[in-house]
Amino acid sequence: MVPAMASAQTSGETFSGPYIGVQGGWNQGQDEDVLTGPGRTGAKKSGVVVRGVAGYGHAIGEHVVIGAEAGIATGGRDISTVNGTSQYITNPGITLDAVARLGVKPIDNVMLFGKAGWAFQRIETTLITPSQRLTDKSSEHGFLFGGGVEVGVTPNVALRAEFDRVSFNDNYARNRALAGVSLRF
């Protein structure tokens, strides 16, 4: 079966052209140094994420692919940090990203890639103390970086797995591990 997958694609065209895809996986949001002190609890929350993606890849020779990709994903679960009688809640909303990708193909139907670019996330934060409740909505921007692997199953279908990280501000960061499928046309 593996030789059939490899021979179904020409080496210069694998992972080239426009594509769309869907991914799902693990998302972990982290609040760092929001409330400090010995009574602080809870600064991370993990959950499920779903991401849609569209991009373009261009082969340079037989073993290198460069490209760009844009994605939209769910935000993740609320993160609650508690210190004594104060609570700080981060509610991450929808997230967008635009990245450049650089891939290396050790064999025709496998590409290892790195990616880096911009990420945006809408975040609502709430500070609750015994005397008040303050809520703020903000648009956070950050530098996203990561990498992964794609495996061509047919000339138009690839399975992919990847990890990425982004720090949105001094307090909030996100890690994601995703797997999915891409359709090239």
Q: What is the residue type of 153?
A: V
Q: Supply the pLDDT for residue 123.
A: 86
Is residue 161's pLDDT more than 70?
Answer: yes
Asked if the model's pLDDT at residue 60 lies above 60, the reply is yes
> Would you call 119 exposed, middle or buried from its count of C-beta atoms within 10 A (0-12, 13-18, 19+)?
buried
**Tens of pLDDT, residues 61-115:** 999 999 999 999 998 788 877 777 888 888 888 999 999 999 999 998 999 999 9
Can you spell out the DSSP letters for 65-129?
EEEEEEEEE-----EEEEETTEEEEEEEEEEEEEEEEEEEEEETTEEEEEEEEEEEEEEEEEEE-
Does residue 32 carry a pLDDT above 80?
no
pTM of the model: 0.82
- What is the pLDDT at residue 153? 94
Q: pLDDT tier at 2 (50, 70, 90 boundaries)?
A: very low
pLDDT reported for residue 183: 96
The candidate with the shortest Cα–Cα distance to 173, out of 148, 135, 143, 147, is 143
- 9 phi and psi, to 5 degrees? -125, 145
What local confidence, expressed as pLDDT, does residue 97 receive? 97
Kindly state the tokens that stand for 18: 């426009």
Predicted local confidence at residue 170, as pLDDT: 66
- pLDDT score recorded for residue 118: 97
* pLDDT range class, residue 33, cuts 50, 70, 90: low
